[in-house]
Structures are given as structure tokens and as C-alpha cells.
Structure 1
């Protein structure tokens, strides 16, 4: 079940650069609310401390009152300052609680991989999140992926993740999530051993051939 947080915002009257700069100096972050049907957009302000509290809440849906109406929203995009990394602007997207939305959800790996615990393998996680579609009320905080049965050489793709029945995979089915491989040095050592074995076999075959040819030559001279 999605967690909801009441985000305290106030309507913003100006979009001039000078005013936006002033708002930020006062600890207020400018943003824009977009209705889910794209028919309405409203500028708003929210305090930095309120945003910090919202992030700490780990909520998926945010309830706001802007333009005199209560609305349910999702974070659509967040812009950060390139140096301080503080939030300088954000867009909120209104949602209809009865219509499915597409969202990105973080992946949390669980269990101890057999390949790591018993076979000396290394875990490679290539995707930190996947996209799913669901009703807003069903948005999960994370999607757990059990890696217990993964051995060295095994991979796990997006379509192999066991999703709750309320969720539908939106990411590419073959998107690689995680794999278990041998450490790089071991792989190199195995390759070198294989090459050495191949060279040894070649030398052995060459020696046998030379020996046969010598015997034939000796037989010929005796005759």
C-alpha cells in the first residue's frame, strides 16, 4: 500500500527570474503543479525543510492544497543545484486515484546468493530500479528481488522478478537486473590455463607426429 504525505505548499504569484532567486534565498523552492489531464498548471512554493521532511517520510503519494483544491500528486521531476546539490525547482504531477500510472520503483536485493556464498562469485547489479504500472494506491516503496538461488553464471532479468498482482512490468522484459560472475582475476586465470592446455596439446601432437615420421624414415633406410 502506498504511503501518503501531506505536503504544505502555497500558491506562487510570480515566475520572474528575480523573484525566483528571491524565493530561494528565503528558503522557499519554486515549483509547478500539472493536473493529470494536462489542462491546468499552477505555480507554487514549498519550504526546503518541508521537502526534507517529505523525502524522509518515504511516501509515494503527496497530498497538497493549491489553487483552493486538495490534490494527490507524484514527484514528476526535481532539479538540483550543480554545486550545492540543493533542490532548486520541482514539478508535481496530479494523479487520478482510479487510473493506473507508470512509476519507477527501487530494487532491493534479498537473500544470500549460492554463487557468492559457496562458489566465490561476485554480484553485479546493473539496474537499481524498474518501471511498473499500477494504481497510485498500490505504488510500493521498493520491489524485493530474491537472489538466493543465483549461482555463478546465472543472470536475472526484469521479467523474472516476481511482482505483486497489482503491478505490471513496464520496463523491457529482457532488461538485465543482476548477475553472478567469477572475479576478474579468476576468469583471466581460467583463460590462461585453457590456452596453456591447448598449447600443451599442440606440442604433444607435434612431438608424436615427429616421432612417427622419424620411425618411418628409419624403416626406409633399413630397407
Structure 2
């Protein structure tokens, strides 16, 4: 994904306010061997880009004065109640250095899992994103979680995920990713039936 930016010389609260009034968003690029660089971006283009999942977990081509460098979106601040992006942080990417990035988890095949198909269970997504480490060229937009074999009372853990080549999970713990359970109302209803039968037997 490509992002067009403009050099920003003026700094401070007043300068940032003037930028925003002009339809631009102040930002900074840092990391690597070059000095941090203050930039500005078109607010509308940025606002729509932030709605795209890939913008948050992809290597971005940031163009400043015709020169392109690869960056990652690291942070952004949004106004408490206005549809306004206040500031954005980008980090430069070195092709030879591993990066730590959070990528979204995409859950697939829930409808064909034994938990849903046979037991009318509910699958809970315990995690929605995964902290990974990889070289920039290996960065996936997302990691897939296959739910097709998940049964009620069971869980999918980090060790069960098939990560793309060159990608490793940052966490050393075997964290729970998703669980399958029977809805509480159904459990109570099934539990009540034997109790009534027992009362009649007495």
C-alpha cells in the first residue's frame, strides 16, 4: 500500500492545529539509521486507509518528495468524539532486520466444525490478533485459524496454528486462541430434565 506524505517543518501545537484545519494530519517517521522526520498526510485519505485492516499490518510504501521508503504503522491518535485523526507514527523497516508486528487472526470453517454442526455450540474468539516476528518480506496480512475440527469443550491453542514460512509467534506461552462451548441456556435446560425425572421416581 502506498502513502503520500509531505515534509513538515513547523512544529508545536499551533502548527499542528493549522495543519488539521487545512485538512492534513501531522505524523512522524522514525527508526533505522536516518533521523526522525516530521511529515504531514492528507487527512481524508489517511482516515479511509485506517479503516482497512491491511493498512495496520502491512509494509507501507511511504513517498516523501518523490523518495519512497518502507514503513510500518506503529501508532495513531484519534479525537475523542470527532472523526479526526490527530497524529500518526510510522517506523522505518530494514529488509534485513526482523520486525515485531501484531497481525489479525481470521477464523475460518466454524460452520462445519463438530462444535457448531453437531452440538449447536458457540465458538468464542479469545484472541483477535497475534504478535509475530518475521522479516519484512515474510509479513502476512493475517493469520488463518482453521476451526473445522473444533469440538465442544475443546480449544485451539497457539501451537495448533499453522504459521506461514518465516513467521514465528512472539509469545512463548501456548495461549488459547478459541474455545467451543454449549450455550448456557441449553445446558440449564438439559440439566433440568433429569432432575424432574428423579423427583418423580422418589
Tell me the TM-score normalized by structure 2: 0.86
Tell me the TM-score normalized by structure 1: 0.78
Partner of 1:8: 4
Give the Å deviation of 1:58. 3.0
Runs of 4+ in 1 over 6 A off after TM superposition: none
Gaps of 5+ in 2: none
Partner of 1:51: 46
Cα distance change on mapping 1:109 and 1:57 into 2, 3 Å: closer
Please, which of 27, 30, 40 is the counterpart of residue 34 of structure 1? 30
- The structure with the greater share of residues assigned to helix is 1
Partner of 1:118: 118
Partner of 1:140: 140
Gaps of 5+ in 1: 205-223
- Which has the greater radius of gyration? 1
1:1-223 paired onto structure 2 within 5 Å: 5-36=1-32, 40-52=35-47, 54-55=49-50, 56=52, 58-59=54-55, 60-66=58-64, 70-111=68-109, 112-190=112-190, 196=195
Q: How many residues are aligned here?
A: 197
Give the Å deviation of 1:41. 0.9
Cα distance change on mapping 1:137 and 1:53 into 2, 3 Å: farther
Q: Give CA-to-partner distance per residue, 1:110-158, whole Å, 9 cap, x none.
A: 1122111111111111111101111111111111111000011010112
Q: CA RMSD in A?
A: 2.6
